[in-house]
Amino acid sequence: MTTSGSTHLDAIVAGVREDLAARRAAVPFEAISTQARAVTRSNRLREHLFGGRPAIIAEIKRASPSKGWIRRDLDAVAMAREYVAGGVCAISVLTEGRRFGGSLQDLADVRSALPDTPLLRKDFILDGYMLAEARVFGADIVLLMVSVLGERIAEMLESAASYGLDALVEVHDESELKVALDAGVDIVGINNRNLKTLAVDLAVSERMLPMVPSEVIKVIESGISSPEEVRHLAAMGADAFLVGETLVRSGDPASEIGRLLSRQY
């Protein structure tokens, strides 16, 4: 529940900040940073895309602020294996625990099971500590939100690169896209969800896709549930689609991935 004058995002970030403080107290930044710089794994997202054909980044997500529990008993490793069987280009693992039911342990478990699959740490990244721990626990890619980081995006991109991490920079409107592009983003995520109201509108992607340079990887986030939507937005330039709830609710995620991409092959 948000308080008067606050937003859903404010409440989530406040919780993330509290949990981060506890982890910092347990493991100093110097220690986690040293561990992160020792990781040599390289699973670059661009190398796992499908040569101009749309791809799916499948998300492991037990809950969300808008829907509550989606699948409380979700087994992260079992779900990840089903995603790989469906032919995804990468897997997104939500690690925020209070509202999404995720954990860094989920990320570590999936990494151990699938050493060659690009993994995205999906969380509300606040600083370099969270970048370092993302690398240590198995991420190849991190989500950086302009709505959270603002003009700090450029420095966070540089820090992520220093750990060997790709960064998916999330934007919701034209002003956020300008911040991302000015920072030299390689991968942009256009999120159709309004983080203040939690409403989803695919018109956001339709409006913003033409504004993104062709060399930047374009990922569509939120609200994708049909092959028609995939086909339509791919024709407008989308390279990949981050899909969570539709797959988690499906009894057969591999087949659902095939359904979303069925008209593309």
Q: State which amino acid sits at residue 24.
A: R
Query: Contact, 50 vs 43, CB < 8 A?
Result: no
8-264: CATH topology is: TIM Barrel (3.20.20)
User: How much is the CA Rg of the chain, to the nearest whole Å?
Assistant: 17
Query: Contact, 156 vs 183, CB < 8 A?
Result: no
pLDDT (0 to 100) of residue 180: 98
Among 75, 156, 227, which Cα is nearest to 142's? 156
pTM over 0.85: yes
Residues in the chain, overall count: 265
Sign of the CA dihedral 202, 208, 210, 215?
A: negative
List the chain residues with pLDDT less than 70: 1-6, 263-265
pLDDT (0 to 100) of residue 51: 82
Q: State which amino acid sits at residue 143.
A: L
Give kind and range of the element (H or E) at residue 142: strand 141-145
pLDDT (0 to 100) of residue 6: 54
Domain layout of the chain by residue ranges: 8-264
Q: Which residue has the tokens 């493991």?
A: 27
Catalytic residues: 59, 61, 122, 170, 191, 221-222
pLDDT (0 to 100) of residue 264: 43
**Phi, psi values for residue 38, rounded to 5°:** -85, -10
Q: Coil, strand, or helix at residue 190? A: strand
